[in-house]
Structure 1
Amino acid sequence: MEQASNTGRWGLWIFVLLSALFFLLPLYVMGVTSLKDMAEVRNSSIFALPQHPSFAAWDQAWNHACSGLRCEGLRTGFWNSVIITVPSVFFSVLLGAINGYALAFWRIRGAEVLFAIMLIGAFIPYQLFIYPLAMSFASLGLGKSLFGVVLVHVIFGMPVTTLIFRNFYSGVPDVLLDAAKIDGAGFWQIFGRIILPMSVPILVVTVILQATGIWNDYLFGLIFAGQDNQPMTVQLIGLVNTRMGEHPYNVHMAATILTALVPLAIYLLSGRWFVRGIAAGAVKG
C-alpha cells in the first residue's frame, strides 16, 4: 500500500513538472530572445541562452518602438492602460457588489426578472453589441475617449460581478441582516458596516478577474479608446504588425513580456488570496 502511495505521489509530481514546463516554455523563449541582439537571434536556436545578454531590446520596446507611425514605445500605452483599468475595475466591482447585495437581501418586486436579464447580458457574446454601442457612443460624443472605454468596461463587467457577488451573499444568513434592521440599520449602513467587511475573499477574486480581463482587452481599446488613448495591448499589436524592414523579434518579445507583466504580477502577489476566495465560495452557486 505504501509503495503504491509513493508511486502515485511521484506520478503526480512528474505530471505537475511536465505541465509547468509546457506552460513556462513560451515564456522562457520570449525571455531569452529578448536578451539577444538580432544577429544572435538569426544564428542561434530559440532555446539557446544569450551569449551576451543585453536589455537594449527592452529599452527599445519601452521608449522607441514604432506602433504604426508613432515611435514612442509602449510607455504611453502603459499609462493609458493604467488610467483605463483602475476606474473600470473600481466601478464595476463596486456596482457589482451593490447589485449583488440588493438582489440577495432586499428582494424587491421584479428582482428575479432583473437578475435574469443581467445573466443574459453576462453570457451573450459582447461582440454582438459592438456596432450599435459604437454608433450610440459616437452620437453622444463619447467615442474615442478614455471615459467612453471605461464606461464600456464597467457596463460589460457589471453582469459578471453582480452574478459572483449575488451568489456569494446568498450564503450569508438572513438573521444577521434581520438583527441589523432591528437595531435601526438601513440599506447603506448594513452594506458598509456588515457586508463589505465580510466580502474580502470575493472582492479579491473579483478584482483579480476584472483587472486581468480589462488589462488584457484589445477589442474595446481598439474601438472605443481612440488613437490618442490606445492601451498597451493595442500598441503591442501595432508594434508587432509594423512592416518596416527587418522584424526585430527581440524587441517584439520584450514588448510582449512588458505588456504581460502587470497581470502576471497581480497573480503572483495575490494568488493565495485568490485561492482563498475560491475556497471560501466566492464563485459558488
Structure 2
Amino acid sequence: MTSVVEAEAGRPVDLGRTAPRSRFTVGRTLRYVVLLLFVLVVLVPVYVLLVTSFKGPGDAAPTRAWNLPQVWTTANWETAWSTLAPAIARTVQMVVPAALISAFLGSLNGFVLSRWRFPGADLVFTLILFGMFIPYQAVMIPLNQLVLGLGVPSGVPSLILLHVVYGIPITTLIFRNYYMTVPQELIEAARVDGAGMLRTYAWIVLPISVPSFVVVLIWQFTSAWNDFLFAVFFSSSQNGPVTLALNNLANGALLQDYGVSMAGALFASLPTLLVYVLLGRYFMGGLMSGSVKG
C-alpha cells in the first residue's frame, strides 16, 4: 500500500507516486530538431526576399543574394508601392465581394443539400463538386467567349464573376459538411414553430455558421488574391489585379531590378500573410468544427 502523509496545506500526499518524467526526452528533442530544420528551409527564401528588397541596383545581384546590403535603402519599397498601389486597390475591390458572395451562395447550397432533401440532391451535389476538378486551362477559351457574350466588362467585374462561380463548389462542400453536424432537433424545432426553409436558415443556421464562414472567407480571399491565370485572360495592366501588375513589374525592364521585384513581391503577399496570421487559429478551428459528427 502506498504511504500517504498530510502536507502543510492539509491535503494528503502520495509518497509512492513516481516523479514526473522529464519533458526533454530523446524523441521529443529529435522532433524539435526536425521542426527547426523545416522552419529554416521555409525562412531561407523569406530572408533572401527581405534582404534583397533593401539593396541598391548594383548590390542586388544573384551572386550576392545571401549577403546583407552594403547600403540599406528603401527606394525599392517606394518604387514598388507607387507601381502596385492602384493594382492593390483594384484587387481589394475584387476579392472582398467575390469572397463574400461565394461564401453566402455556398452556405445556401450547403444548407439545402444537407437538410432539405429533394429528389436528385446527391446528383446535384456531385455535379457541383465536379466543377472543382475541371482545370481552368481546359475551359479558358470558351469561358472567355461566354464572358464576352454576357457583356461583362473586363477587369474587376469579370474577375468577381469568375471567382464567385469557381468558388461555389468548394464553399458548398465546406458548408455542407459543417451543416451535417448541426443537430437535427434544431431544424425540427424550427419546422414545428412554422418556420420555412429561408426562415430556418436565417434565424437558426446562419448565426451558428461563423466558423465555416471564417474558413471559406480565408480560402476564397487567398485564392482570388493569388490568382494569375484569370487575371491574364480577363484583365489588362490598366484594370488587372496585383498579380498581373507584379508580373509586369518584374518583366517590364530590360535590366532586371531585383530589389524592386522583391519589394513588390512582399507588398503583394502581405495581405494574405496578415489574414493567416490574424485568423489562422480560427481557420483551423473552423476546419475541425465540421470534421466530426455530433
**2:93 aligned with 1:46, yes or no?**
no
Task: For 1:126 and 1:143, locate their aligned partners in 2 and report how far apart those are by CA, in whole Å.
Answer: 20
**1:197-223 alpha-carbon deviations (Å, 9 max, x no partner):** 211111111111110010000011121
Kept in 2: contact 1:165–1:282 (CA 8 A):
no
Which stretches of structure 1, 4 residues or more, deviate above 3 A after TM superposition? 1-5
Q: Counterpart in 2 of 1:278?
A: 287
| Count of residues paired in the alignment | 274
Query: Which structure has the larger Rg?
Result: 2
The corresponding residue for 1:254 is 263
Q: Which amino acid aligns with 1:265?
A: L
CA distance change for structure 1 residues 283 and 176 in 2, over 3 Å: closer, same or farther?
closer
1:210 paired to 2:220: yes
Question: Out of 103, 108, 112, which is 1:93 matched to?
Answer: 103
Q: Is 1:33 matched with 2:52?
A: yes
TM-score by length of 2: 0.88
Once the two structures are superposed, what CA deviation does each residue of 1:218-241 show, in whole Å capped at 9, x if it has no partner? 011121134431100011111111
Paired amino acid for 1:166: R
Q: 1:93 to 1:117 in 2, by over 3 A?
A: same
Aligned equivalents of 1:258, 1:5: Cα separation in 2 = 40
Q: What is the SS of the residue equivalent to 1:41?
A: coil
* Matches of 1:119 and 1:42, distance apart in 2: 46
Query: Which one of the candidate residues 276, 289, 293 is aligned to 1:267?
Result: 276
- The one-letter amino acid paired with 2:195 is A
Residue number in structure 2 paired with 1:131: 141
Deviates more, 1:131-140 or 1:27-36: 131-140
Q: Is the 8 A contact 1:143 1:225 kept in 2?
A: no
| 8 A Cα contact 1:143 1:226, kept in partner | no
TM-score between both structures, scaled by the size of structure 1: 0.90
Residues 74, 4 of structure 1: alpha-carbon distance in 2 compared, 3 angstrom cutoff: closer
Deviates more, 1:267-276 or 1:187-196: 187-196
The amino acid of 1:155's aligned partner reads: V
2:71 is paired with a residue of what secondary structure?
coil
Task: Work out whether 1:198 is the aligned partner of 2:208.
Answer: yes
Question: Which amino acid letter does the alignment assign opposite residue 201 of structure 2?
Answer: F
CA contact (8 A) 1:85 1:211 kept: yes
Amino acid at match of 2:273: L
Distance 1:79 1:2 in 2: 55
Q: Find the aligned partners of 2:235 and 2:57 in 1 and give their Cα distance.
A: 33
Letter in 1 for 2:259: N
Structure 1: runs of 5+ lacking an equivalent: 64-72
5 Å-filtered alignment, 1:76-155, equals: 76-155=86-165
CA separation in 1, counterparts of 2:170 and 2:151?
27
Are the equivalent residues in 1 in contact too, given 2:179–2:290 (CA < 8 A)? no
Distance 1:151 1:196 in 2: 24
